[in-house]
Amino acid sequence: MAKPALMPLEEALERLLSQASPLPAETVALDAALGRVLAAPVVARRTTPGRDVSAMDGYGVRAAEATLGAVLKVAGESAAGRPYAGTLRPGEAVRLFTGAVVPDGADAVVIQEDTAREGSAVRIDEAATAGRHIRKAGGDFREGETVLPSGHRLRARDLALVAACDLAEVSVHRRPRLGLLSTGDELVRPGRGAQAHQVILSNIYAVGGVARLAGAEVADLGILPDRMDDTRAGIRAAREAGLDVLVTSGGASVGDHDLVAPALTAEGAALAVHKIALRPGKPLMFGRFSGGAHAAETHVLGLPGNPVSAYVCALLFLRPLLRRMQGEAGVDGLELVPAELAVDVKANDHRMDFMRAQIVGRRAGVPLVAPMPVQDSSMLSLLSRADALLVRRPQAPAAKAGEPCEILPLED
């Protein structure tokens, strides 16, 4: 019997992302909003600056009067938050500090270094230019202006902008609630002195970390033994937890102990995809639980157990899924960066390959990339030392050093 063809990565990704819709909105205080995705545009509640203000310490003057050598009477002072009450009259200057309102009647600022104070007067040593050193009212943004669009992920500097708009909270999409189920009789938690034939549970840290950095709330749902009844019971318990996403690790392949796909199906999941033309990560599966006793829809992603495969699949599939679920704009799946091969590479087979690689230099800003000599999907030491994944398309011919290539930079 002919083997069924493996699904191309792009097709699988498109299927997964097309299933994902944004979670409902909630309002959060600004100091809890870093990394959250806006569910509504941010509209300024004030105009900033609210008045014309000085960009420098110096004197507010009428430009036409403040010619070289002019001596003007210092009528008063305007500091940030304490404006000068009057209007500048002919022959007058007002002492100004950075951020202070420029008084009515003044149309230029002469910086302190270009003046000489003579008691209650000031001598102008550099002729003023109208408009010079004045920040116009509304020059930054105006009341009613949209400063950030819906779907934008809030960065540190965006929070400052929102605050400056006189807003203390924002409307963002709820974080996806994600549960991680690990499978395997051999797994032991770190720090407990596991025996040589046992394997330390490590996938939850890489996969959970990718998920947290993508905005999810992550719960460790424990380790399941390789038995059908236990696997089904674990999946059932995970369903009770009201998750948006259930991620399993291990038991995804074809061995006698690989029970995850049949257990998920038996518990009512509709698996859209199982097995992808991908290396590492061939046995990846995903689908959904919907309806039934549980009103909420839960996405399910079954990751391969090999640690590198689990991590790469988390980057390729879980991260964009979580970002889509938070309503983030512009999430189209693969986000590859152009690079250049630093060494020759062999022809590829039918699986799209994501090779652990190092950036060994740059030419005109473009990273020069060399795949690591060993590409074993169990080896975390090599993964940790990698800077990027070098992407080799299915059936890509051999390529020489100096040829262009694509990489997925590893940032977490």
Ligand X SMILES: Nc1nc2c(c(=O)[nH]1)N[C@H]1C(S)=C(S)[C@@H](COP(=O)(O)OP(=O)(O)OC[C@H]3O[C@@H](n4cnc5c(N)ncnc54)[C@H](O)[C@@H]3O)O[C@H]1N2
Residue 258 contact, options ligand X, ligand MOO, none, Cβ 5-8 Å cut-off depending on partner type: ligand X
Residue 47 contact, options ligand MOO, ligand X, none, Cβ 5-8 Å cut-off depending on partner type: none
Lay out the site mask for ligand X across 215-254 (x = CB under 6 A, - = otherwise): ----------------------------------xxxxxx
Contact flag: residue 249 with ligand MOO (CB under 6 A): no
Contact flag: residue 304 with ligand X (CB under 6 A): yes
Question: Minimum distance from CB of 282 to ligand X (Å)?
Answer: 4
Q: Which is nearer to ligand X, 89 or 350 (CB)?
A: 350
Q: Which of 179, 281, 327, 333 binds ligand MOO (CB under 6 A)?
A: 281
Question: Minimum distance from CB of 233 to ligand X (Å)?
Answer: 18
Contact flag: residue 304 with ligand MOO (CB under 6 A): yes
**Radius of gyration for the alpha carbons in the chain, expressed in angstroms and rounded:** 31
Question: Minimum distance from CB of 313 to ligand X (Å)?
Answer: 9
Question: Minimum distance from CB of 279 to ligand X (Å)?
Answer: 7
Lay out the site mask for ligand X across 327-366 (x = CB under 6 A, - = otherwise): ----------------------------------------
Cβ-proximal residue to ligand X, closest one: 305
Residue 199 contact, options ligand MOO, ligand X, none, Cβ 5-8 Å cut-off depending on partner type: ligand X
Question: Minimum distance from CB of 201 to ligand MOO (Å)?
Answer: 18
Residue 251 contact, options ligand X, ligand MOO, none, Cβ 5-8 Å cut-off depending on partner type: ligand X
Q: Which is nearer to ligand X, 115 or 182 (CB)?
A: 182
Contact flag: residue 306 with ligand MOO (CB under 6 A): yes
Residues 6+ apart with CB under 8 A from 58: 96, 109, 110, 111, 112, 114, 115, 133
**Is residue 292 a contact partner of residue 269, using CB atoms and an 8 Å limit?**
no
Which region, judged by CB under 6 A, interacts with ligand MOO, from 15-23, 120-128, 187-195, 301-309? 301-309
Q: Which is nearer to ligand X, 176 or 305 (CB)?
A: 305
Cα–Cα dist 330/316, whole Å: 15
Q: Which of 309, 326, 348, 358 binds ligand X (CB under 6 A)?
A: 309
Instruction: Give the 3-state secondary structure of the chain.
Output: CCCCCCECHHHHHHHHHHCCCCCCEEEEEHHHCCCCEECCCEECCCCECCCCEECCCEEEECCCCCCCCCEEEEEEEEECCECCCCCCCCCEEEEECCCCECCCCCCEEEEHHHEEEECCEEEECCCCCCCCCEECCCCCECCCCEEECCCCECCHHHHHHHHHCCCCEEEEECCCEEEEEEECCCEECCCCCCCCCCEECCHHHHHHHHHHHCCCEEEEEEEECCCHHHHHHHHHHHHHCCCCEEEEECCCCCCCCCCHHHHHHHCCCEEEEECECEECCCCCEEEEECCCCCCCCEEEEEECCCHHHHHHHHHHHHHHHHHHHCCCCCCCCCCCEEEEECCCECCCCCCEEEEEEEEEEEECCEEEEEECCCCCCCCHHHHHHCCEEEEECCCCCCECCCCEEEEEECCC
Cα–Cα dist 380/255, whole Å: 23
HSE-up of residue 219 (Cα within 13 Å, Cβ side): 15
Lay out the site mask for ligand MOO across 365-394 (x = CB under 6 A, - = otherwise): ------------x-----------------
Question: Minimum distance from CB of 176 to ligand X (Å)?
Answer: 20
Q: Which is nearer to ligand X, 197 or 400 (CB)?
A: 197
**Is residue 281 a contact partner of residue 312, using CB atoms and an 8 Å limit?**
yes
Q: CA-based angle 113:117:118, to the nearest 5?
A: 155
Q: Which is nearer to ligand MOO, 84 or 311 (CB)?
A: 311
Question: Minimum distance from CB of 182 to ligand MOO (Å)?
Answer: 16
Residue 187 contact, options ligand MOO, ligand X, none, Cβ 5-8 Å cut-off depending on partner type: ligand X
Q: Which of 103, 280, 320, 327 binds ligand MOO (CB under 6 A)?
A: 280
Lay out the site mask for ligand X across 175-214 (x = CB under 6 A, - = otherwise): -------x-x-xx-----------x-xxx-----------
Residues contributing to the site for ligand MOO (CB under 6 A):
279-282, 304, 306, 309, 377
Residues contributing to the site for ligand X (CB under 6 A):
182, 184, 186-187, 199, 201-203, 249-255, 258, 280, 282-283, 304-307, 309, 377
